[in-house]
Chains A and B, each alone.
Chain A
């Protein structure tokens, strides 16, 4: 009896420790972001934002002297949304072909997709940089978008293929027996069933493109073409000793969309992830 109680208590303690260790850095980011900058630079840090303030967010968003946030946000949003749109469209077509048709080369294609996903971007930066440079697309929205579409495509195709295969083809055929055309059957039966899968895949693509740092740094390095991660890093370098509160506020702004989206797809996390999805 006593042993069982002890086990229960230690499990609870373990759970609390894991929770606190996981959450503390995020808490600390928020705490600093809402504390006046002057107070963050004291020997004794305050563990709660006692002097709650929004001034750091104001600094990040509107201070003319710093690297401006808004253009970086617009770049990030445009590139990410365009990436998701095109990646989903291309991946959807591929997923249908791979899940609904049997053809020579199908398996080879699948193997290639997985292999491509394992090629480290770190090793490819130079030659991708050169190719983008050759077609004069450095420091453009279009250039980085095309590169991102390619980087998210492999796992997007892989994931969507699973979802399409999960919708029984018999449903479509039954609808056609009942007088639907092929297109109607697809639109009315298969597409609605695929909607959750499309959303989940799109969200994964969003998170990847939104967080990507290395390619953005190399391909869109010019200040006015920066995306948020590159902006954050520049901001941190320029003001590292002076304004940690603002740096944390910037980090909060960059993290929030990802946190929200992550919560939406968390149920599908492990299944999609074993296929190598998130860390990319």
Chain B
């Protein structure tokens, strides 16, 4: 590598820095300022915004509505992460044992689910769960003898989130399965064979060999899943369009959207946003440190 004291490299970084500063940096500063202001519709149209210190934060942190949303988001993310990780690991382990032809079949299927744009995925699943003409109600009634004709999946929060979980898990399992499968292929064959010769059972091999070898992969994948599932927006927002009470089904991202752009309380929305940014940055700490270590 060349050691340059000149400004050469910075000149090359300049366009990227300029765009990032304008679209991420400046709004981030704005966000901090706005969260300490009373900022509503009038302020959007030019009225001066009075500073209120930390009032927005105090209000948000004492607001039962916020905590309901927060707890809901955390619980929802937890369920999704556990489900996605379990299924993804299972699929990866199975893929590792499969013949080439079967593995290609599974991989092709996973790729299709993965490639589907989030929004179209929600709309297609929404159609499948449609109350009157959905294939799922039909199949449950016809093939499983259950009485699901005319059943509305979105009316009740619990079943609303069940549908959301199915959609999100369906789209997230491929990433987990592919990544863990890639990790499995990195375990040296000799180690695996030695364990088998020593008579280790499949479970023992998984616990004592696979898990320790794949610990860094698991750590990164779990971190990313937590972050992605906590900030879920598109799926919840689009499903709310199909039914489902906003107050009972909003997660953090959707709540911010509703508070700010829906109700016009930008100061409050800013405070919640900032809480979310801090939370996400804290969660990404491990991921960032790990990735930098590997790259640099």
B-side contacts of A233, CB under 8 Å? 119, 123, 238, 241
| A186 contacts chain B at the CB level, 8 A cutoff | no
Question: Secondary structure at chain B's binding surface: helix, strand, loop or mixed?
Answer: helix
| B52 contacts chain A at the CB level, 8 A cutoff | no
| A123 contacts chain B at the CB level, 8 A cutoff | yes
> Whole-angstrom distance from the CB of A170 to the nearest CB of chain B?
12
Query: Closest A-chain residue to B149, C-beta based?
Result: A43
A-side contacts of B253, CB under 8 Å? 120, 122-123, 214
> Whole-angstrom distance from the CB of A86 to the nearest CB of chain B?
8
| A240 contacts chain B at the CB level, 8 A cutoff | yes
Residues of B8-48 whose CB lies within 8 A of A: 8-10, 12-13, 15-16, 19-20, 22-24, 26-28, 30-31, 34, 44
| B125 contacts chain A at the CB level, 8 A cutoff | yes
Query: Closest A-chain residue to B111, C-beta based?
Result: A266
Given contacts A41-B132, A103-B4, A259-B115, contact A124 B280 (CB under 8 A): no
**Contact indicator A123/B233 (Cβ below 8 Å):** no
Query: Closest B-chain residue to A262, C-beta based?
Result: B115
| A40 contacts chain B at the CB level, 8 A cutoff | yes
| A82 contacts chain B at the CB level, 8 A cutoff | no
| A115 contacts chain B at the CB level, 8 A cutoff | yes
Please, what's the 1-or-0 string for B244-272, where 1 marks a CB less than 8 Å from any CB in chain A?
A: 00000000110011001100001001101
**Contact indicator A111/B292 (Cβ below 8 Å):** yes
> Whole-angstrom distance from the CB of B217 to the nearest CB of chain A?
8
| B94 contacts chain A at the CB level, 8 A cutoff | yes
Chain B residue total in the interface (Cβ 8 A): 102
| A107 contacts chain B at the CB level, 8 A cutoff | yes
Given contacts A45-B133, A146-B23, contact A232 B10 (CB under 8 A): no
CA distance A177 to B28 in the complex (A): 48
| A21 contacts chain B at the CB level, 8 A cutoff | yes
Residues of B120-153 whose CB lies within 8 A of A: 120-121, 123-128, 130, 132-133, 135, 138, 149
Tell me which of A93, A118, A211, A270 contacts B284 (CB under 8 A). Answer: A118
Tell me which of B119, B261, B276 contacts A213 (CB under 8 A). Answer: B119
Residues of A107-148 whose CB lies within 8 A of B: 107, 109-111, 114-116, 118-131, 146-147
Most buried by A among B24, B138, B227, B295: B24
**Contact indicator A244/B130 (Cβ below 8 Å):** yes
**Contact indicator B256/A126 (Cβ below 8 Å):** yes
**Contact indicator B281/A25 (Cβ below 8 Å):** no
> Whole-angstrom distance from the CB of A77 to the nearest CB of chain B?
15
Q: List 10 A-B contacts (CB under 8 A).
A: A45-B135, A93-B13, A122-B252, A123-B272, A124-B277, A131-B26, A229-B119, A233-B119, A251-B120, A276-B287
The 10 closest A-B pairs by CB, nearest first: A122-B253, A150-B23, A22-B109, A262-B115, A127-B27, A123-B273, A118-B284, A19-B109, A97-B9, A97-B12
